[in-house]
Amino acid sequence: MSEALPDAPPPKPQREKRGVPSGLWLRCDGCGATVFRKSCDENLNCCPECDHHMYMSARDRVASVLDAGTFEEWDTNITAVDPLEFSDKKKYSERLVAEQKRTGLKDAILTGSGMIRARRVAFAVTDSAFIMGSMGSVVGERLTRLIERATTDRLPLIIVSGSGGGARMHEGIFSLMQMAKVSAALARYDAAGGLFISVLTNPTMGGVAASFASLGDVIFAEPKALIGFAGPRTIKATIRIELPEGFQTSEFLLEHGYVDRIVRRREMKSEIARVIDYCGKR
Amino acid sequence: MASATFQLPFEQPIYELEDQIRDLEGVEPKTAETHEQIRALRKQLTESLRSIYKDLDEWETVRVARHPDRPMFTDYVDLVFDEFVELHGDKFFGDDRALRTGFAKLDEFKVMLVGHHKGKTLKERNECYFGCAHPEGYRKAMEKMRLAAKYGLPIITLIDTPGAYPGIGAEERGQAQVIAESMLEMSRLGTPIICVVIGEGGSGGALGIGVGDRVAVLENAYYSVISPEGCAGILWKSHDYAPQAAKALKITARHLERLGVIDDVVEEPLGGAHRDHHQMATRLKMYLVKTLRELSQLSPDELLAGRYEKFRKIGPFLEAAQP
Ligand SMILES: [Zn+2]
């Protein structure tokens, strides 16, 4: 388990679109246009036609937010175990190996430190492609260590969340308890006067939304991200009515007062830097 | 106390014995032989209860945890506490009936009692959304817990929810945010906190009032990251696999104790809490008083350090030597 996984950029887990071959072209989920993949890549995975913010891998996120070459990854030696010997249609232990191979990540998170326009920060990003970006013990532990270190080193903390899965079912109660563990670490960070900027990306749901992602001093969301506690399907099954247009989007959260600003991807770095300048100097 | 209308399939042999006993008890006048038969049947009933409840599987445990006759928040209020002074609103939006809060007395202790209530009648269940709290419930709980900490009152939370309510209003009023904030807040309240899962410990809705110095689960209650049905729907693509999901998730009190996630299991009366509310309440009371006495020896700093460590160490992983 200690074997280092290849550090190469992970294969893009962009879903295969109907009739559109992967490779040169891809289809935008926002406007339906077929767009040149290269022009999308150059545009931080935003549609050149409609600015729809598409999936971005954790590694790409690091590159887009932190100053080039400044990311120092922490706690890379922590890997998941299968404490429940969980198995659905597939064994969790096998699922982990397959996901590691597919994404090039060890788990659904990268943590470490880096610079944002020459300001040193503690930084984490979850990758929604690794078991839905869900939080198990590794994500919980790496976040907690990051927060604890940010507390001692007095660093601003930036966590970019992307998780359709919330708390990872395959680790059962351990995943649920990570929500409490990380929140408790954030309470201490807060008491020590730390600045936490939480960035919500598509999707941020369930136990991730209901823990660290919602605890930022300042909360940014990328445009049109799906953000919420319960999944839309669960809600629909419970209340049996059609959900309103735009329900659980970033814009919906802004309107209801749960997000400070909606920030486009290409402005994220400057916006974070600006908030640090207001609050980060201690 | 078994409900006339609600029956658990695996309790069938018990109902049959109970029926036979009831029939014989109706016979008048009773001969010595009748008395003997009743005695024999009672013995058989006890054995049957013991053998069925000795090894309930995970799904059967979920069924018991959801039994409509199982004691609920208001039963414990009546049977465990000497007084309950309910405090209603969240001073922001409303009064969630699914989450109740108030001052309570328990032996020599004055405490803040917080707990989910599922409701007994259909009308009450609808008011309580079957124990699924809205953001105003968690906000209310947070407010009252802060009040308790301010005056050094210990906090007792009784957890019994299928999960926080999934609805439009709940999302509009920040369900995710209040649960997160409630956990954070509970981690730093400098007063003893005891959390007991009395029935269903459904996911974030449970953990939202579940961060404490001691976390206990009643013997036939469960505590899970997701409902067995929800998990089955996602991983097996059908709710019919809920029993498999319940098994895979290891959600029973005994599993949780073995996994080191909870501190204590409170034993239930023979045949489950729904058979004997008084005995269940007595056991819960003993547990609460004993634990309050332990925790009241500790300073706020000691409590907070212990509480942090307790959650800090949960979650196994592999840590290789740094290269
Ligand atoms: Zn587009």
DSSP for chain A, written as a single string: --SPPP-SPPP--PPPBTTB-TTTEEE-TTT--EEEHHHHHTTTTB-TTT--B----HHHHHHHHSPTT--EE--TTEEE--TT--BSSSBHHHHHHHHHHHHS-SSSEEEEEEEETTEEEEEEEE-TTSGGG-B-HHHHHHHHHHHHHHHHTT--EEEEEEESS-B-GGGHHHHHHHHHHHHHHHHHHHHTT--EEEEEEEEEEHHHHTTGGG--SEEEE-TT-BEESS-HHHHHHHH-SPPPTTTTBHHHHHHHTS-SEE--HHHHHHHHHHHHHHHT--
| Per-residue pLDDT reduced to its tens digit, A85-107 | 999 989 999 999 999 999 999 99
Report the pLDDT averaged over residues A269-281.
Answer: 91
Q: So what's the pLDDT on residue A23?
A: 79
Q: Do A171 and B315 touch (CB under 8 A)?
A: yes
- Using the Cβ of A250 and the Cβ atoms of chain B, whether some distance falls under 8 Å is answered with no
Q: Do A88 and B259 touch (CB under 8 A)?
A: no
Q: Do B308 and A1 touch (CB under 8 A)?
A: no
Tokens of A155: 């660093």
Q: What is the DSSP letter of B223?
A: E
DSSP B157-213: EEEEES-S--SHHHHHTTHHHHHHHHHHHHTT-SS-EEEEEEEEEEHHHHHTT--SS
Q: How far is the CA of A157 from the centre of ligand 1 (A)?
A: 32
| Per-residue pLDDT reduced to its tens digit, B83-131 | 999 999 999 999 999 999 999 999 999 999 999 999 999 999 999 999 9
- Chain B residues touching residue A164 (CB < 8 angstroms): none
Please report the residues numbered 121 through 180 in chain B whose beta carbons come closer than 8 angstroms to any beta carbon of chain A.
164-168, 170-177, 179-180
Contact A85, A257 (CB under 8 A): no
- Chain A residues touching residue B315 (CB < 8 angstroms): 136-137, 140-141, 171, 174-175, 177-178, 181
Residue A8 in this model has a pLDDT that exceeds 50? no
CATH number for A56-279: choose from 3.40.50.300, 3.90.226.10, 3.40.50.2000, 3.90.1150.10: 3.90.226.10
Residue A83 or A22, more confident: A83
Report the pLDDT averaged over residues A159-186.
Answer: 97
Contact B268, B218 (CB under 8 A): yes
- Using the Cβ of B231 and the Cβ atoms of chain A, whether some distance falls under 8 Å is answered with yes
Residue B30 in this model has a pLDDT that exceeds 90? no
Residue B198: closest CA among B158, B150, B230: B158
Work out the mean pLDDT of chain B and round it to a whole number. 96
**Facing B225 at nearest CB: one of A175, A181, A190:** A175
Instruction: State the nearest Cα–Cα gap between B25 and chain A, in angstroms.
Output: 46
| Per-residue pLDDT reduced to its tens digit, A237-249 | 899 999 999 999 9
Q: Is A110 left (phi over 0), alpha (psi -120 to 50) or beta?
A: beta
Q: So what's the pLDDT on residue A129?
A: 96
Q: How far is the CA of A29 from the centre of ligand 1 (A)?
A: 6
Q: Do A258 and B207 touch (CB under 8 A)?
A: no
Q: Compare all CA atoms of chain B with the CA of A131 and give the residue at the minimum distance.
A: B235
Q: So what's the pLDDT on residue B321?
A: 87
Report the pLDDT averaged over residues B57-68.
Answer: 98
Give dist(CA A55, CA A71) in Å, integer.
Answer: 21
CATH number for B62-312: choose from 3.50.50.100, 3.90.226.10, 3.40.50.720, 3.30.390.30: 3.90.226.10
Between A122-126, A267-271, A278-282, B273-277, the lowest mean confidence (pLDDT) is in A278-282
Burial (CB count within 10 angstroms: exposed 0-12, middle 13-18, buried 19+), residue B204? buried
pLDDT band at B277 (very low <50, low <70, confident <90, very high): very high
Tokens of B208: 């939202």
- Chain B residues touching residue A180 (CB < 8 angstroms): 183, 187, 207, 210-211, 311, 314
Tokens of B12: 């069938």
The strand pair at A261-262 and A218-221 is best described as: parallel
Q: Model-level pTM?
A: 0.94
Instruction: State the nearest Cα–Cα gap between B312 and chain A, in angstroms.
Output: 5
Between A12-26, A183-197, A262-276, B19-33, the lowest mean confidence (pLDDT) is in A12-26
Q: How far is the CA of A223 from the centre of ligand 1 (A)?
A: 13
DSSP B52-119: HHHT--HHHHHHHHT-TTS--HHHHHHHH-SEEEEE---SSS---TTEEEEEEEETTEEEEEEEE---
Q: So what's the pLDDT on residue A1?
A: 33
Instruction: State the nearest Cα–Cα gap between B35 and chain A, in angstroms.
Output: 50
Q: What is the DSSP letter of B260?
A: T
Q: So what's the pLDDT on residue B28?
A: 87
Q: Compare all CA atoms of chain A with the CA of B186 and give the residue at the minimum distance.
A: A184
Q: Do B204 and A210 touch (CB under 8 A)?
A: yes
Residue A6 in this model has a pLDDT that exceeds 60? no
Question: Locate tokens 């969301």: which residue?
Answer: A221
Q: Do A173 and B164 touch (CB under 8 A)?
A: no
Residue B135: closest CA among A256, A270, A80: A256
pLDDT > 90 fraction of chain A, expressed in percent and rounded: 88
Q: How far is the CA of A54 from the centre of ligand 1 (A)?
A: 9
Q: Where are the domains of chain B?
A: 9-55, 62-312
- Using the Cβ of A138 and the Cβ atoms of chain B, whether some distance falls under 8 Å is answered with yes
Specify the 3-state DSSP secondary structure of B132. Answer: coil
Instruction: State the nearest Cα–Cα gap between B244 and chain A, in angstroms.
Output: 8
Report the pLDDT averaged over residues A96-125.
Answer: 97
Query: What residues are paired with B102 via a beta bridge?
Result: B86, B113
> Residue B266, Cα to own-chain centre: how many angstroms?
11
Residue A5 in this model has a pLDDT that exceeds 60? no
Q: So what's the pLDDT on residue A9?
A: 43
